[in-house]
Structure 1
């Protein structure tokens, strides 16, 4: 397992981050077994959110840590301030509510990585920094970051933080995958485009990618003729992405790996620090991710996979 560091945390973060948006009370044994297997390969970071599984994701994690007595071995990324049916919730009241609720569900007194799940461009970025720094100063939160914010909003927030001697955002979690999104998977989501990636490279700003393997696009289960998954058709079906899939298959054959492992390696070989959120729910899927995380890709291979150049 490889690791990165993020300002605000002393512990290294595993580059594979365990997704927990399928952690429910009625399948606790499965979740616990998945976590045990993840720790066994050197993983230590997991991704959750206030809204996942109606709160059950965080509650299952809390139960697991209490039963195993391993809170200090884990790095928890959880998120709050997601909008609801009434609109945006990036307010001091809503952030406080979600963060306090998450702490109780997780049965812990601190959260390693705390992110705002969505943005509200009508709220000044500096105001958000002021709110979150209260939790940094109290030790309730280690590092602060964002999910589905644009790089320009992150830059605005961090310029305010620097000018006021406050902790800025030290990580971002948009979608980044070899398959490029035609449109947001969910309303308000952000995918890392060329401009975003250039900014992350320039700043060496850590990126935690959700849907890092394009929700199974590279598994071989999909083709232009297979259209039973409406969301995948809407978001990832395009001529360019079919060509990326074909190139991933070709490179996989040369390296004696699989196309989906190449897709994972694409995320983890970017010229800036990255982690990949993975949804592995079986031993075989976890083993695949573990092997894929160790594949090295050259800049030339990355460019060819991404259709920047015609020949490898």
Structure 2
């Protein structure tokens, strides 16, 4: 497992595994047994960062139960997220101080902890000024409940504006970002309100050095071999990922995988983990074998030439 250093607002530096275990699939208590197996395997392989959110059903509850049963809170860092619109009112943002505080307190309770290392806003509402958001997040840090704040599905422009406001008012800045990002580029966001990392965002991370935690780094299985240009039964996959450029990337990943004696999807994960800035792949594994394959992928080194070749539009 490869790791990258991450500095918390407390001044402490933690080492985070480049493969982050995504738990969006831990949605009901019926998933508990399999979820525990996956969490156990991830910990056995020295993975130490778990991604969750208030929006992910029973995910936080299951993680909290696992942390207590294994007595391993000191071995993992937690990234959770709040501020997502409710299922009953999907068009109403929840970025007010009362909503954000309610989300955080509920997350801490469910996770059986009084502190999370990383806390991100799950959605944005550009009609709400950053001046109404940043003071609340700053309080979370000063109260010792959050180690660092970040964004998920925010634009670069909003992140920059929020950090500029924070600097001007001596508040905590966003120190990480979690967009959708993979070797395959999306034709459109998979879900409403999602933000995919485009070239301007990648350039911003490269210049700023801010860590990127990529959700959907495997492009929803696009590189698994289950899909082909003439297999169009999954309309969502067709709408989101099918394009000439992405098929070109897929076939190149296949060639590189054969050369390296790994799977194509491992090459796709390696692409995310070998960016010129701290990059982490949030992997929603459903089996222990998928956890193992993801960890192996994090150890694949791809140089700049290989990275450029995978994404080049040149046909040869």
TM-score bracket for the superposition, by shorter chain length: over 0.9
TM-score, normalised with respect to structure 2: 0.95
- CA distance in 2 between partners of 1:206 and 1:304 (Å): 23
Residue 307 of structure 1, CA deviation: 1.8
For each residue in 1:79-118, what CA deviation from the matched residue of structure 2 results, as whole angstroms up to 9, or x when unmatched? 0111232421111111011111111111111111100000
Whether 1:57 and 2:62 are equivalent positions in the alignment is: no
Please list, as runs of the form range in 1=range in 2, the aligned pairs for 1:124-143 lying within 5 A after superposition: 124-143=129-148
For each residue in 1:24-64, what CA deviation from the matched residue of structure 2 results, as whole angstroms up to 9, or x when unmatched? 311211111111100111101011000102xx100000111
Whether 1:298 and 2:303 are equivalent positions in the alignment is: yes
- CA distance in 1 between partners of 2:291 and 2:140 (Å): 34
CA contact (8 A) 2:5 2:15 kept: yes
CA contact (8 A) 2:37 2:288 kept: no
Residue 310 of structure 1, CA deviation: 4.9
Residue 120 of structure 1, CA deviation: 0.7
- CA distance in 2 between partners of 1:291 and 1:202 (Å): 28
- Aligned partner (choices 9, 19, 24) of residue 21 of structure 1: 24
- CA distance in 2 between partners of 1:234 and 1:5 (Å): 37
Q: CA RMSD in A?
A: 1.2
- CA distance in 1 between partners of 2:14 and 2:304 (Å): 29
Residue 231 of structure 1, CA deviation: 1.7
Greater than 3 Å deviation, 4+ residue runs: 308-311
CA contact (8 A) 1:303 1:309 kept: no
SS of 1:5 mapped into structure 2: strand
CA contact (8 A) 1:48 1:78 kept: yes
SS of 2:104 mapped into structure 1: helix
Q: Which residue does 1:67 correspond to in 2?
A: 69
- CA distance in 1 between partners of 2:186 and 2:5 (Å): 28
CA contact (8 A) 2:245 2:313 kept: no
Q: Which residue does 1:266 correspond to in 2?
A: 271
- Aligned partner (choices 8, 13, 18) of residue 10 of structure 1: 13
Consecutive unaligned residues in structure 2, runs of 5 or more? none
Whether 1:284 and 2:286 are equivalent positions in the alignment is: no
CA contact (8 A) 2:96 2:132 kept: no
Q: Which residue does 1:48 correspond to in 2?
A: 52
- Aligned partner (choices 239, 246, 252) of residue 247 of structure 1: 252
Q: Which residue does 2:107 correspond to in 1?
A: 102
- Aligned partner (choices 222, 225, 230) of residue 230 of structure 2: 225
- CA distance in 1 between partners of 2:70 and 2:36 (Å): 9
Residue 228 of structure 1, CA deviation: 2.4
CA contact (8 A) 2:7 2:14 kept: no
Residue 144 of structure 1, CA deviation: 0.4
- CA distance in 2 between partners of 1:300 and 1:308 (Å): 14
CA contact (8 A) 1:5 1:13 kept: yes
CA contact (8 A) 1:17 1:43 kept: yes
- CA distance in 2 between partners of 1:155 and 1:21 (Å): 28
For each residue in 1:126-177, what CA deviation from the matched residue of structure 2 results, as whole angstroms up to 9, or x when unmatched? 3211110101001011110010001111111111112222210010000110
- CA distance in 1 between partners of 2:232 and 2:69 (Å): 43
SS of 2:117 mapped into structure 1: strand
CA contact (8 A) 1:111 1:140 kept: yes
